[in-house]
A and B are shown apart, each in its own frame.
Chain A
Amino acid sequence: MTETNPLVLIIDDEEAMRDSCSQILLKDHYAVETAKDGATGIQLIRALHPALVIVDLKMPGMSGFEVLENLPGLDPHIVAVVITGYATVDSAVEAMKRGAHDFLPKPFTPEALRIIIARGLERRRLILEAEALRKEKQLLEENFITMVSHQLRSPLVAIQQYFEVMLAGLEGATDDRMKEMIRKANERLDSLLRLINEWLDLARIGQGRFVGTFQLLDVRKILNRLVEFLTPSARENNISLEWAGSSGPAVELMGDEQGLEQVFSNLINNALRYNKPRGSVRINLREEANFAVVEVQDTGIGIAPEHLPLIFEQFFRVGRPGDKAPKGSGLGLSIAKKLVEAHHGRIEVRSELGVGTSFIVRLPKAASGGTPA
């Protein structure tokens, strides 16, 4: 953070003063620039960004006080030292009030100048250091969840990678019984990874401030990508995934891409999971007035009427018939609801036991450019 050969700018109308200060400072290996009046000084500050500026208070035209007042707008980290010809305490105090770091009464010795400049630059170093720390802290805060997530995931992923090596028999033969155990261990790790993600998502959305990046998005595109991504797993489970809206005009809204992907992937995954063998999941996108409406409909087991009011609650889980215990964290739908609400939308559910369930998400569209609001 220490600047090598920091630049010092001297603003003084007296040529003799500019020259003598320059000589002293150049000998101490500072870089030096000079200005003969306030206006020139400000131009040089703007162009050269000096670390420190020495300003004479009493100059014709723009006074030293006026230069001081301009400094925060030019460079918030610049350090100013004033020179006062009339060594009154009053003008020095006034200068400090207007942001000067220190003052030097005329006449002064080279030693006094050196000490004051060194002190001023030390202050500048501290200011810059504090600024860098503040920026780093801000970056950490903004990306805290991403980093926590990364650190929790890394060891689990490394374990899974070793498992992949063993399953592929790359370090000697692995018999079927061992492979089966490795697969089970892998499944547990997968669900732990999912749980970590869901907890962190909830932390991210739950603090009342959703830190998403809102931008203009096409819902159709998001659904296209999701369907492509989820089709293999639907096929594996013998469920037909039907999406009739793959081509068509863009349905645009302001949203957080990752957040919306998560909402729809959660709904579609649930629909695939809580379905009947050879069942189907139908996805539909339509526009109603100022809303984009996405419906995810399954031919699954349905939700009992007494459970319906509870499904968006945290940790509420319904087991599938045949499961020994309910799987999942019970956080998925609660996260989806919070995300939809962060987009000023609504999520609804309709269900009939044994027939199927449909989730309807309504999101306000972006105001169209063509029609006046």
Chain B
Amino acid sequence: MTTNRAKILVVDDDPDFREAMKAILTAASYGVVTASNVAEGTQAILGERPDLILLDIMMDSLFDGYSLCHAIRTSKEFEGVRHTPVIFVSAVRQIAGSRFGFKGEDQGLTGPEDYIDKPVKPADLLARIERYLKK
């Protein structure tokens, strides 16, 4: 398995979901790093410097993904990696039937580049990753 392409970080609290995502990303020969919560995610972002982050929203607490995304964009700790593309990967917006558009901006939080619903369609995921890596 060559990993001559970009490095993707998957932050999700579900180990099986991480494994499935890893299968999709490695098959497309991306380098994959995983983390299961905000603390591990932070460490991985600073230590591994991924080219793109796939971020779950609800992990240990309700809006972990939002707060991490906001921190990446605004806090001093993440200064050098501020512009890493972030894609939310979550089932949160379907929780009560239909829910569109993330509302993080309404709460003064800085939003991600994009949003994908779980379960993720591999072709859709890879197309979006390509798009944000090119930018």
Contact = CB atoms under 8 A, between A and B. Distances in A.
Contacts of B24: 164-165, 168, 170
Contacts of A193: 94
Nearest to A193: B94
Contacts of B80: none
B17 to A, nearest CB: 5
A342 to B, nearest CB: 13
B20 to A, nearest CB: 4
A329 B17 CA distance: 28
Contacts of A226: 98
A270 interface: no
B99 to A, nearest CB: 6
A132 to B, nearest CB: 15
A170 B122 CA distance: 9
A240 interface: no
A261 B97 contact: yes
Interface string B24-35: 100100000000
A201 B95 CA distance: 9
Contacts of B123: 168
A266 B132 CA distance: 34
A229 B99 CA distance: 10
A265 B119 contact: no
A164 B101 contact: no
B23 A171 contact: yes
B21 interface: yes
B101 A146 contact: no
Interface residues of B, number: 26
B121 interface: yes
A200 interface: yes
B20 A161 contact: yes
Interface residues of A, number: 35
B109 interface: no
B39 interface: no
Contacts of A145: 96
Interface string B1-33: 000000000000010110011011001000000
Contacts of A265: 97-98
B23 A146 contact: no
Given A146-B62, A171-B23, A157 B119 contact: yes
Interface in A155-170: 157-165, 168, 170
The winner among B27, B95, B96, B123 for most chain A CB atoms within 10 A is: B96
A225 interface: yes
Q: Please report whether the interface of chain A is mostly helix, strand, loop or mixed according to DSSP.
A: helix
Contacts of A146: 62, 95
A154 interface: yes
Contacts of B100: 225, 229, 261
A200 B58 contact: no
A147 interface: yes
A145 B96 CA distance: 9
A201 B96 contact: yes
Contact of A149 (B95, B98, B120): B95
A171 B92 CA distance: 28
A154 B18 CA distance: 12
A36 B128 CA distance: 68
Nearest to A230: B98
B118 interface: yes
The 5 closest A-B pairs by CB, nearest first: A160-B119, A161-B20, A158-B16, A262-B97, A265-B98
25 contacts: A146-B62, A150-B91, A150-B92, A150-B95, A153-B95, A154-B91, A157-B118, A158-B17, A160-B118, A162-B20, A163-B119, A164-B20, A164-B121, A164-B122, A165-B20, A165-B24, A165-B122, A171-B23, A197-B97, A225-B100, A259-B96, A261-B97, A261-B98, A262-B96, A266-B97
